[in-house]
Structure 1
Amino acid sequence: MKNIPDRFGIATSSIAVVLCWFAIDTIVAEALTPKPQPFAQELARAEPISGASLADWTAKAALRGDLVGDIAMARAAPALNRGTTAETPEKAAARQRALATASASLALAPHSSAMWLLVAMLSSRTQTEASVAAVLKMSYLTSSSDANLIPTRLAVLSLSPAIADPELRSLLRSDIRLILTRRPDLKAAIAGAYRAGSAEAKAIIDEDVRSIDPGFATSLL
């Protein structure tokens, strides 16, 4: 019985040390992680990450999937920038590194719709149509009505062979209806997806828009 206070003291001291380390790690991770940027099909080029390896390690050690996701976004910018269409070795390496970081973010925060969408964008060149379709569905399932993601989701899906998937076609239609009925400020996203999309995407967009807003449908042509 005499040892109980000593054991309690050791336990509480150990917990205090762990909590202190966790707090310091979180502060360092937040300081090193790039600032979040708005999600878009072509991400803004971020400044090089200061202490990239340390930022990675501290964010993962703090179990902060959101911070790991911010690092993934910064790393994805060079790979997703469409200024050059050729897939150079540097661009391919950036794509793979960003994909690995985004996957690590999802391991910590599987509810992140933005990260599922980023993984779909990064893997579109290397994965099968079925794999990309499955990832895109996860982006919808985790947050189907996130207005910040709808423009990019429309743009990505309208260009992807995965649009052949019946479930994704239905989800695309849901986004279109949401914009036309509740978020008319996002109509430019529909126009952009229509103009850049595949023939199949154009047909779906035209049909849905024409059934709800014939005037806007005319402007797409």
Structure 2
Amino acid sequence: MAKHIASLGGDAYVIPTGSHGRQIHYHPHIYSHQELRALFDAADAIQFSPYGGQRQLIIPVMFRMIYCLGLRPGEARRLHRNDVDFEHGSVLIRESKGHKDRMVFMSPDLHQYCRHYDAAIDSFHPDRISFFPNHHGHFYSKGTPDRWFHELLDAAGSVIVASPGSPPRPYDLRHAHVIEVINRGVRAGRSPEALVAYLSLHLGHSDTEDTWYYFHLAADFHPELRGIANASIESLFPEAHHEIR
């Protein structure tokens, strides 16, 4: 509009090219174990709907994969059937953020859980391409996991308490996964430097600074980790930073 006014000879300020708008900083909801239990119990209680495909089979598996593997919700939604290798227990994430592929591995429990799901959904969509097929056998739309997630939140009721201005999102399950990995690793004596290098590959980050963000989210820092979290990542392990980039 400003350009149009200026073209007519009016006095208008045109925002310079490359200027960024105001960024809204979202504070992720960090789920407690009790909240996660309530969320997955709600997923397991989902009922069949004639408009949602085999949602009673899909919802429990999709959200468990997001949490257990640290997937972005869109990565789970876009999984192809042949991306999940039941022989080796691996999951290929195609064309992730930054157009990079990566491989993640299922725990034995998740591996078996997904195997049961695959056999069950196969009876409805034997020739499907999508791992999570809609009622037509195709991929679900982008907004579907969000709608399902809000249904789970409603079913979980007062167990999940949201912070003002930061309602829980499906993406926060990825945050919960990473924080659990960090805390478990530090308690087991793994060095934070090694954890960052591993998580960068596991999460599909092209820059370890993106991974470092999760260390600041961890609620129960190990004393050593708390000190390192305020340091510069490049000064701690420049070799790993250069190699992963």
Q: Sort the TM-score into its range (normalised by shorter chain).
A: under 0.3
Higher helix share: 1
The answer to which structure, 1 or 2, has the higher relative contact order (CA under 8 A, 6+ apart) is: 2
TM-score by length of 1: 0.27
TM-score by length of 2: 0.25
